[in-house]
Structure 1
Amino acid sequence: MTNRGRLIRQTLTIARRDFTATVFTPLFLLFLLSPLFLIGFATVGALGGSTLARGPADRTRIIAFVAPTDGKLLLAADGKLRGLFRDRDAPPALTAEPAGDDPAKRAKAAFEAKDFDAIAVLYGPLDRPQILHIERGTRSADYLTQLAEIVVRQRASGGEGPLSVATRTVIKPSIVSRSSNNAAALIGVTGIFFLTLFLSGQAVGTMAEERSNKVIEILAAAVPLESVFLGKLLGMFGVAVLFVTFWGTLISQIGTFLPGGGAALSGLAPAVGMPVFILLFCAYFTMAYMLLGAVFLGVGAQASTMREIQMLSLPITIIQMAMFGLASSAAADPGTSIALLAEIFPLSSPYAMAAHAGNKPEIWPHLAALAWQLLWVSITIWVGAGAFRRGVLKSGSGRKPFALFARRASRKDGGYAIDTNVS
């Protein structure tokens, strides 16, 4: 077996070791189902917030003290107009009450009612209506004004029937809109960011665990540290792929049972096409995870306690948030200097290039970007392994850059050959 084949075998052995040690444990099931807990907490919070918001909204009313015939016409006009609003934008419910002997007095008294909260009240003839409203009821007062105008125009036209008949035709533009491209770009940036933020943090504690149980010394004696780092990174990436595959399959199957399951994607139109965009999304997620995971591995290798890991990982997370903001700006304004900076800078390049796939149809920049990002993954692994060798093992450097990919016949220590086969 050649030296390069031996290195690949050692790397894959360590990757398999870390993958099985992570997956075949009861805690992995909790990790796999952890989004359910997040969704549950978010649902409870959303229901509580909506209940608090809906309580006052359900009590809010707009009232019209008018003659019974005018009340029926106002309610009919309200039914037509209200259908144009989304639920959260619709005006408060309209109530039509008989005018009585003193409608002005009744209108003022409505604001003191205990059973509901009047926000705007109309009284008087509809051609000269009087509208009272509280300070935050300006839009409701405008809505009552428009209802009165509609009823008066209907009377002037001699009936309630429509005065015009519109013919509506749905067309599909031959050119994809810029907003559809931007939507795909932002989805790509946000998806990669949240997946890497949620999954890559697990790599930070792996080296500290190996240091605490003294396994790292055995691995370092038998396998080049670059292989150890890359193997652990591949093992953790396998765990991430399993997680994404599980939830991606589950969500896709749930979507098929929902009415209009593909409607959420109808507004997405990446410039490179949806199949290519999905492939590039997977490739850039891989590069983002490998790069950030390599950084976390290097950080975790320098820490000996969980407290040190938390202190060191916090700045990395802050930097990642900054890269997300930079890539989001690139997605919103493609072709600018900010976008070019985000596409070149290694930490933001996977996010920005995913946005580039949504905004630009060219394919060749992605090939160059993937090669550029792979180079930085190699650099990060080499730097992390070298820092661990010098700072923790105290064995100095003595290795050439990118030793993982270099040809070496054997590895020697003090003149004695060391068997580098790891079973």
Structure 2
Amino acid sequence: MDKLLLIIKREYLARVTRPSFIIATLVTPLVFVLFFVVVGFIFSSESDDTKKIAVVDESSILKGALKDEKGIFFRFENQPLETLRSKFKSSGYDAILVLPPIGDMFSKDYIVYYYSKGQPTLDVEVHIKDRVRDALRDYKIDQLRLDRKQLKALNTSVDLEPEPIEKGGQDATRLTSKIGAAIGTIMGFFMYMAVFIYGSMVMRSVMEEKTNRIVEVMVSSVKPFQMMMGKIIGVGAVGLTQVLIWAIMIPVLMTIAQVAMGFDAEQQMKMSQGASNLNPEDTQAMIIAAMAEIGNVNWWLILPLFVIYFLGGYFLYSSMFAAVGSAVGDDMGEAQTLTIPIVIPVVLAIYIMIKAVESPTSSLSVFASIFPLFSPIVMPAILTAKPPAWQIITSVLVLIGTSIFFVWLSGRIYRVGILLYGKKGTFKEFAKWIFYKE
């Protein structure tokens, strides 16, 4: 145990004190925030291109009014289309928009014609189609002499409010499933990233020590299995340290960036309300309900289980990465080939997780939440859906047992591969190494 602790300490301190680790840990949140700022700037910026469009409204659908917006300016013309086309070069217009007469009021299709030297840009096309569609609807309402109030009454919003079947049962709201799905998806993706990032880190560390032949010195006083476990635990501790630092730095830097950019949360909320036609009071009530739902989540069960699945998934996959690292030297191409069977279950698990969040009680979700290669990613994503106790217990026991088995199996491969040079590791060789005697 003392030797194992020494290896863990060495792995941890050797990595956290590296300039590359310190720089990466401090720079990554800055890059993330910079990316957020740049993306925000891109989406907030508007085109500086201006378009002056002549409108020929043959049926007076638009009634001489079309709102100028985002650098697009409309001018209604009473001249024939051919006259406008002949004078197009000297007119100063960039395009001519023609709205032909409506032959059938009950037709669902209507084509407008856009004359210009080139194709209309996407923003211009969307703007014109939206405005003409709204105007066409109003025009048809007037021509068909329909009652606007009655038509407005046809637009009904339907919500599903869950209720317990038994009196006194736990009540839920329409946001319960949505909040649970969001939390589950975040947890699943975090597991997905952790398995890839820190598992690969273990593999690179093993490859580095084997290439530098440091392992030959260490193996004289430490068993290979202790070396592998020390490396896995040490790298895992490094990863947790990095995640904790990021968890503190990213929110702080995001807040500073928002203040520096003059981001007004209240104004942004008003803009989003205006875009979606929501009542501000309804929006505020929805936010309060969402916060209440987050508070009602059984975090005392979910967080401990998340830690169990994180550790189980990390030990399971990182031990396999360590076994691959011991079987190859500095050939990353060979290492990538051998890691394909490890990567495939992880990738499949993320796709299954997406479906499991939508339908947590399906046969696929239940199977994937128990199958140990999928459960570290799938089960955390459906914990908010409150799976039955037998499913959680079975999943945890199977994951723990499988993790122990894979650590033992990888240790058998590691003890041979770490001291083997000049011979490429293959899956056939791995099978032989497992049964080698001490």
TM over 0.5: yes
Equivalent residue runs for 1:247-286 within 5 Å: 247-254=246-253, 259=265, 266=290, 273=297, 275=299, 276-286=301-311
CA deviation vs aligned residue, 1:281-307 (integer Å, no higher than 9, x gap): 344333322222111111101112243
Per-residue Cα deviation, 1:257-313 (whole angstroms, up to 9, x for no partner): 673799799499579816243444344333322222111111101112243334433
Alignment partner of 1:147 out of 122, 135, 140? 135
| CA distances 1:26-66 after superposition (whole Å, capped 9, x unpaired) | 11023312464467579768978998xx65x9556776456
Q: How does 1:159-198 map to 2 (within 5 A)?
A: 175-177=172-174, 178-198=177-197
Question: Structure 1 residue 203: deviation in Å?
Answer: 0.9
How many equivalent pairs are there?
Answer: 373
Q: What residue is the counterpart of 2:236 in the other structure? A: 237
Correspondence list, 1:221-232, <5 A: 221-232=220-231
Q: Does the 8 Å CA contact 2:181/2:382 hold for their aligned counterparts?
A: no
- What per-residue deviation string (whole Å, max 9, x for no partner) do you get for residues 210-263 of structure 1? 223333234333233322211111110111101111111223335666737997
1:107 and 1:123 in contact (8 A); partners too:
no
**Contact 2:225–2:414 (Cα < 8 Å) also in 1:** no
Q: Distance in 2 between matches of 1:219 and 1:319?
A: 33
1:355 to 373, 381, 390: 381
Give the match's secondary structure for 2:65. helix
The answer on 1:288 being equivalent to 2:276 is no
Whether the 8 Å CA contact 1:188–1:354 is kept in 2: the answer is yes
Unmatched segments (≥5 aa) in structure 2:
163-170, 270-285, 421-432
**C-alpha distance 311-153 of structure 1, shift in aligned 2 (>3 A):** closer
TM-score normalised by structure 1 residue count: 0.67
Say if 1:188 and 1:242 are closer, same or farther in 2 by CA, change over 3 A: same
CA distance in 1, matches of 2:355, 2:287: 26
Report sequence identity in percent. Answer: 19
Change beyond 3 A, Cα 1:272–1:225: farther
Cα distance in 2 for residues equivalent to 1:107 and 1:266: 56
- Rate the CA distance shift 1:71–1:349 in 2: closer, same or farther, 3 A: closer
CA contact (8 A) 1:271 1:359 kept: no
| Counterpart secondary structure, 1:221 | coil
Q: In the alignment, does 2:351 pair up with 1:325?
A: yes
Instruction: Tell me if structure 1 keeps the 8 A contact 2:64–2:76.
Output: no
In structure 2, distance between residues paired with 1:358 and 1:62:
54
Give matches, 1:19-418, under 5 Å.
19-32=12-25, 33-34=27-28, 36-37=30-31, 64-65=55-56, 74-75=65-66, 95-102=73-80, 105-106=83-84, 116=94, 120-122=97-99, 132-134=112-114, 140-141=128-129, 143-150=131-138, 175-177=172-174, 178-254=177-253, 259=265, 266=290, 273=297, 275=299, 276-307=301-332, 308-360=334-386, 362=388, 365-393=391-419, 397-398=436-437
- Give the Å deviation of 1:372: 2.7
> Larger deviation: 135-144 or 283-292?
135-144
RMSD: 5.2
Deviations 1:74-130 (A, max 9, x none): 35xx69xx9xxxxxxxxx876442433447754898799876456x544889xx9x9
- Which shows bigger deviation, 323-332 or 349-358? 323-332
Alpha-carbon offset, residue 181 of structure 1: 3.0
Classify 1:279/1:150 alpha carbon distance in 2 versus 1 (closer, same or farther; 3 Å). farther
Provide the rounded CA distance (Å) in 1 between the counterparts of 2:6 and 2:410.
20
Residues 159-189 of structure 1 deviation map (CA, whole Å, 9 limit, x = unaligned): x99x9999x9x99975244344333322222
Instruction: Tell me how far apart the structure 2 counterparts of residues 131 and 310 of structure 1 sit (CA, whole Å).
Output: 54
Q: Distance in 2 between matches of 1:267 and 1:124?
A: 52
Distance in 2, Cα, partners of 1:108 & 1:343: 70
Q: Cα offset for 1:342?
A: 1.3
Range 145-154 or range 324-333, more displaced: 145-154
Q: TM-score, normalised by structure 2?
A: 0.65
